Amino acid sequence: MKRIVTLLLLGAAFAAAPVSAADVQVIANSNVAADLSAADVKEIFLGAKDSVSGTSVVPVLASGGPTHEAFLKAYVGKSDQAFRNHFKSLVFTGKGSMPKSFASDAEVMKYVASTKGAIGYVSGGAELAGVKKIQVK
Amino acid sequence: MSISRTAVLGTAMASLALAMASTPAFAQSSFKVGDKEVQAHGSIQQGFVFSTGNNFLTMNTRDGSGAMTDGAFNLSTQATSKLRLGAQIYSRNIGDLGNGALQVDWAFADYKVNSKFGVRAGKVKTALGLYNDTQDMEFLHTWALLPQGVYPLDLRSVTIAHVGADAYGKFSLNKAGSLQYTVYAGVIQDDTKGGYRYGLEDQGMHFQGNIASRGMGFDTRWTAPIDGLTVGYSLLQAKKDLDITIPTLPMPLHVDVPMARVQALFGEMQRDRVKFAAEWRQEATETRLTPAIAPDTTMTSRGWFTSGSYRLNDHLELGAYHSRYVQDVTLASADDTNHIRDNAIAGRVDLNQYWHVKVEGHFIDGNGNISYARGFYLRSNPNGFQSETRMLVIRTGVTF
């Protein structure tokens, strides 16, 4: 038991990797408000908030990778595993749906651009096309 | 252990996991009905249990048992921006429990007016403590077995769901975080293949008709401004009655439970890769018998656990918990027949995003009272109980 506890503590000490909000851009369909609070973004991506200023919103995810990790770290505060489990718990209790996810920035942008209320994220260096960049306050 | 059944199930799970590995990371099995998207999700789990001391959960675990299979399948759709419809079937075969029968796990319409208020009507999973509504979804948890002092696998149906209605919502408390609530009322369905009946039948009792149970309660949880911290309190108050026959009694016995009150106080702290959780549970049950062959009683039981886990990387998570249960708080808790204590250490390996394997060691002390059996049953331990049980649980599951 002592070894397990030691391993847990050692692992925790080396866990954090430096990521920041600058590594990702939060984007939205043109019908979504241009400014959102960080709390709004977190609630939207946890499925707890489905409208902003009267507009229905829906989160769109990257399937994985550094942008996805950076977004979760900066805005949601959950590990990828915990984030997936959160949505699985909603899906398997009937309280929510699994969000759409896409493998590349281009696919995320294409879906967000064509879907009313869609909010997603792409890498910090991605050139935006057909979507609105959200200023997260 | 049925090797052929286990081999077939293992092959099916591996095939499913490999097939899913080529799909998007957030599984989206869906189809269209008209212009509406219907999502389909499912899971299947298989466990293997080896123990010394006592047989556990109606399985022959001392010889090694693979009689631990369960699975669920659901369909759901967002019918309108406010209306959501869905249903899930669930089946399990845990030793003598469940027998593989399909049951409606939940099926309801959910009308969400806004984030502050919504209603659900139908069969709804009951919000109670940290994991009551997700206790069957072992893929969500680090553990192969949730702490049995609070979430006894054999007695899940006593609190798992109700047929009725919920009102729910969430309020922002600004800088103080947010408060989530659920208020509900309904009928708790009888589980003819569950541990509650099985334990009473162990003592020679026979049920006449169904157990009628009705309940109401609420759950509230505060998401604190401290990142990752949630604390909450739940209350379920139910009443039920049943008719049984006992070999030594010439007439049927009517058992009236005018009050069965379950309270849960819980907290969870999850930050990045680390998760700590704790829950305290108290159950007070008032019982009256007709004819009055014994005086009216009110018994209070308590259980609690603390747990900690750490995810080392995408594939490996380690954790440990301590769980306790005291059957009757007015009696000496040191007595083996009045307590069950369990220290567990667990390792979870995620082979990919859909398939995981867990290996878990349990060091259990005590076996509880056979009159209120919980994990340890007379039928599977006919020669009496040992005071200690050591147990290895291996559980694997696939989710899509």
Instruction: Please answer yes or no on whether A94 and B353 come within 8 Å at the CB atom.
Output: no
When scoring B230, B272, B400 by the number of chain A Cβ atoms within 10 A, the one with the most, hence best to mutate, is: B272
Q: What percent of chain B has pLDDT over 70?
A: 93
Predicted TM-score (pTM) of the model is 0.89
Question: pLDDT at position A50, please?
Answer: 87
Place of tokens 């109401």: B216
- With CB atoms and an 8 Å threshold, state whether B140 touches A89: yes
Each residue of B48-105: pLDDT tens digit? 999 999 999 999 999 999 999 999 999 999 999 899 999 999 999 999 999 999 999 9
**For residue B275, which residues of chain A lie inside 8 Å, CB to CB?**
82
Q: Which of B200-214, B354-368, B372-386 has the lowest mean pLDDT?
A: B200-214
Residue B56 confidence (pLDDT) = 98
B134 touches chain A (CB under 8 A): yes
A15, B274: Cβ pair inside 8 Å? yes
- Give the full edge-to-edge strand order of the sheet including A24-28: A100-102, A58-62, A118-123, A24-28, A132-133
Q: Is the pLDDT of residue A102 over 90?
A: yes
Q: pLDDT at position B271, please?
A: 86
As a whole number of angstroms, the distance between CA B344 and CA B145 comes to 9
Instruction: Pick B108's closest partner by Cβ from A12, A39, A94.
Output: A94
pLDDT at B272: 80
B86 shares contact with chain A (CB less than 8 Å)? yes
Chain A closest CA to B53's CA: distance in Å? 21
Dihedral (CA of A77, B147, B96, B98) sign: negative
Is-contact B231 B221, C-beta < 8 A? yes
- Per-residue confidence (pLDDT) for residue A34, from 0 to 100: 78
Region of poorest pLDDT, from A68-72, B108-112, B389-393: A68-72
CB B376 within 8 A of CB B368: yes
The band of A12, judged by pLDDT with boundaries at 50, 70 and 90, is very low
Half-sphere exposure of B331 (CA within 13 A, CB side): 16
User: Does the pLDDT value for residue B358 go beyond 80?
Assistant: yes
Region B120-149: mean pLDDT is 97
Residue B182: is its pLDDT beyond 70? yes
Neighboring chain A residues of B270 at a CB cutoff of 8 Å: 78, 82
pLDDT given at position B16: 57
| DSSP-derived pairing of the beta strands A58-62 and A100-102 | parallel
How many angstroms separate the CA atoms of A39 and A58, rounded?
Answer: 15
Q: What angle do CA B37, B43, B47 make, to 5 degrees?
A: 180
Query: Identity (one letter) of the amino acid at A30?
Result: S
pLDDT at B21 over 70: no
Q: Kindly report the number of other CB atoms within 10 A of residue B188's CB atom.
A: 23
Q: Residue written as tokens 């553990």?
A: B143
Q: What share of chain B is helix, strand, coil (3-state, %, to 5)?
A: 10, 55, 30
Average model confidence (pLDDT) for chain B? Answer: 92
Q: How far is B138 from chain A (nearest CA, A)?
A: 10
- pLDDT category at B2 given cuts 50, 70, 90 is very low
Tell me which of B267 and A50 has the higher pLDDT: B267
CB–CB of A92 and B137 under 8 A? Answer: yes
Tokens of B382: 């006919």
Residue B273's closest chain A neighbor by CA? Answer: A79
**CB–CB contact A8 B310 (8 Å):** yes
The residue ranking higher by pLDDT, B163 or A78, is B163
Write the residue in A78, A95, A99 that is nearest to B26 by C-beta: A99
| Number of C-beta neighbours around residue B395 at 10 A | 22
Q: Which residue of A has its CA nearest to B73?
A: A92
Q: Which of A6, A93, A104, A121 to mutate to test the interface with B (most CBs of B within 10 A)?
A: A93
Chain A residue numbers touching B108 (CB-CB < 8 A): 94
Residue A17: band (very low, low, confident or very high) from pLDDT cuts 50, 70, 90: very low
CA nearest to B141, candidates A94, A11, A82: A82
Distance from CA of A28 to the nearest CA of B (A): 18
Task: Using pLDDT thresholds of 50, 70 and 90, give the confidence band for residue A3.
Answer: low
- Of residues A4 and A102, the one with the higher pLDDT is A102
When pLDDT is cut at 50, 70 and 90, the band that residue A53 belongs to is confident
- The whole-angstrom distance between B6's CA and the closest CA on chain A is 25
Band (pLDDT 50/70/90 cuts) for residue B4 is: very low
DSSP class of B132:
G
pLDDT confidence bin for B319, thresholds 50/70/90: very high
CA dist., res. A87 & res. A101, Å (int): 13
Mean pLDDT value across residues B190-202: 94
> Which residues of chain B make contact with A101, given a CB cutoff of 8 A?
24-26, 28
Q: Is A6 on the interface with B (CB under 8 A)?
A: no
Is residue A10 predicted with pLDDT exceeding 50?
no
**Which of B55, B212, B219 has the alpha carbon at shortest distance from B133?**
B219
Residue A131 Cα, gap to closest chain B Cα (Å): 22
Contact A15 B39 (CB under 8 A): no
Average pLDDT over residues A81-93: 94
Decide if pLDDT at B211 tops 80. yes
Judged by a CB distance cut-off of 8 A, whether residue A10 touches chain B is no
pLDDT in tens, A104-129: 999 999 999 999 999 999 999 999 99
Task: For residue B384, report the phi and psi dihedrals to the nearest 5 degrees.
Answer: 95, 175
